[in-house]
Amino acid sequence: MSKFFRASNVVLLLLCAMYFITYLDRVNVSTAAAGFSKEFGLSKTQIGLVFSAFAYPYLVFQIIGGWISDRFGSRRTLIVCGLIWAAATVLTGLAGGLASMLVARVLLGLGEGATFPAATSAMSRWVAAERRGFAQGITHAASRVGNAVAPAAIVAIMVSYGWRESFYVCAAISFAWVLLWAWTFTENPAQHPRITAAELSTLPAARKPGAPVPWGPLFKRMAPVTIVYFCYGWTLWLFLSWIPQYFLHSYNLNLTKSALFASTVFFAGVIGDTLGGIVTDRLYTRTASLVKARCWMVATCMAMTLLSLIPMMFTHDLYVSLACLASGFFFAEMTIGPMWAIPMDIAPAFSGTASGMMNSGSALAAIISPVVGGWLIDRFGSWELPFIGSMVLMAIGVALAFRMRPDVKFEAGA
């Protein structure tokens, strides 16, 4: 059997596909807004509400979904989630106004709320400890490919057929993934029909699902990680929500050119995700220090994100803005590998729940950031002003990165 097609790599490939599809279904609305905002007569603030509606149930179901995946397994959790988010994508295309658009986006957040914690729970069994950073980096890189592909792909469908049809295409892809996941994935690696004894020996020891979660101590332990991830999430959701509109309106580009520039920014994130996962694993292998591999790396990349965005505040030039945004997104995404490895470092027995706690920080940012960004644009007419918030929060993230302590493993009885 080829090393590339061994069972654990097939599982990782399926998770990459899921991350790609979930982000395609999240950010397609940012590009489609050029169509439905005119049809429904929406202001920038109302568009921001549509962008953020996804995040309310997404926030609520981070921790719940993480617990469900730890308790009942990633296979069943992701099958149910996939059916819900695919149906929500269909309903988005059927929307008849602001209210129905908000309902569809809320349902999408409900469906996608447990996806990343459930994926992390699956990785805790299917990925060797020394590959955790790479696994998280490459799966999130796939999500950023979804970001990068979405503007151009959605525009192409919109131009040929309409904005509603773009959601129907995305929904069909989602339903297809659910079928493939149900057919291929097994909860326990030892039960996979294609697993070999040699490959199984490299994976973490099997653990029994369903252990009681020590909620209070685990919340306290994960709190610094959650705050740091909120700081990252603010920038992420500002970029995902407003970058396509930024190039379209701030520089008066046509829809096709604005999609090209937005895709360039998001492709920088793809590189950052992939490289960040590789670097954090190599740092850990060479230094045997989780503080250096996780905390130092997160702090450094957040500082570089802040510095990358500063020139935008002093000049209004298309290519300077493109360079700043691409560089900023690249460094922000380099934090993903180390950040998502941290829940597995800290609490491997509760990795789904712990990662859900961490990702609730980003989900909360997803609620606030798009609306604040839209309000600032409406109020002051500046498309650069929202990025000041990103710089402030990145500075806070740098200061708090060393409070995460991935080197201290969580003990349920401690």
Q: Which structural domain range is residue 224 located in? A: 3-188+211-403
Give the number of other CB atoms < 10 A from CB of residue 270: 23
pLDDT for 331 equals: 97
In this prediction, residue 308 has a pLDDT band, given cuts at 50, 70 and 90, of very high
pLDDT, tens only, 27-54: 788 778 878 888 888 887 888 788 888 8
Q: Is residue 26 over pLDDT 80?
A: no
pLDDT for 2 equals: 59
Q: What angle do CA 368, 391, 247 make, to 5 degrees?
A: 75
pLDDT for 125 equals: 84
Single-letter amino acid code for the residue at 364: L
Q: Dihedral, CA atoms, 84, 66, 133, 14, nearest 10 degrees?
A: -30
Mean pLDDT score, 196-221: 78
The helix (run of H) or strand (run of E) holding residue 56 is: helix 55-72
DSSP three-state, residue 161 = coil
Residue 226, in any domain of the structure? yes
Alpha-carbon span 218 to 213, nearest angstrom: 8
Q: 249 to each of 311, 386, 400, how far by Cα in Å?
A: 19, 15, 35
Residue 202, in any domain of the structure? no
Q: 87 to each of 106, 119, 157, 382, how far by Cα in Å?
A: 12, 20, 19, 36
Residue 199, in any domain of the structure? no
Residue 231, in any domain of the structure? yes
Residue 193, in any domain of the structure? no
Alpha-carbon span 375 to 365, nearest angstrom: 15
pLDDT, tens only, 322-353: 999 999 999 999 999 899 899 989 988 888 88
Residue 195, in any domain of the structure? no
CATH number for 229: 1.20.1250.20
pTM for this entry: 0.79
pLDDT for 413 equals: 54
Of the ranges 55-64, 92-101, 143-152, which one carries the lowest mean pLDDT score? 143-152
Of the ranges 25-29, 73-77, 176-180, which is most confident?
Answer: 176-180
Residue 204, in any domain of the structure? no
Residue 205, in any domain of the structure? no
pLDDT for 208 equals: 60
Per the structure, the count of domains in the chain is 1
pLDDT for 9 equals: 87
Q: Is residue 211 over pLDDT 70?
A: no
pLDDT for 86 equals: 95
